Amino acid sequence: MSQENSNEHREEGLDIPYEQIAPETLRRMIQEFVTRDGVDWAETDCTLEDKVEQVLQQLKTHKIKVVFDQTSQTANLVPVGRR
């Protein structure tokens, strides 16, 4: 096996319906998402709760989804791909 092939990272993601995630776990996941580095909310006057509700609404309208990466054993919120 070549060095190049052994270092490849292949993401194996599973879509997880947000309705199947415990409400408190989902809320904590969204809170982590909206407060992580690189997310710029500084120009808005939104509270943390406002941000959480905005993301929850995007889940409900299928603009974003929860994906579990089997390789890293982590879940993330990602935009829904255009069809």
Give residue limits of the domains in the chain: 23-79
Single-letter residue type at 12: E
State the pairing for strand pair 13-16/64-69.
antiparallel
Q: Which CATH architecture has domain 23-79?
A: Orthogonal Bundle (1.10)
7-60 confidence digits (pLDDT tens) = 444 446 899 999 999 999 999 999 999 888 766 666 667 888 999 999 999 999
Residue of 59, 78, 69, 72 lying closest to 20 (CA atoms):
59
Burial class of 64 by CB neighbour count within 10 A (0 to 12, 13 to 18, 19+) = buried
pTM listed for this prediction: 0.73
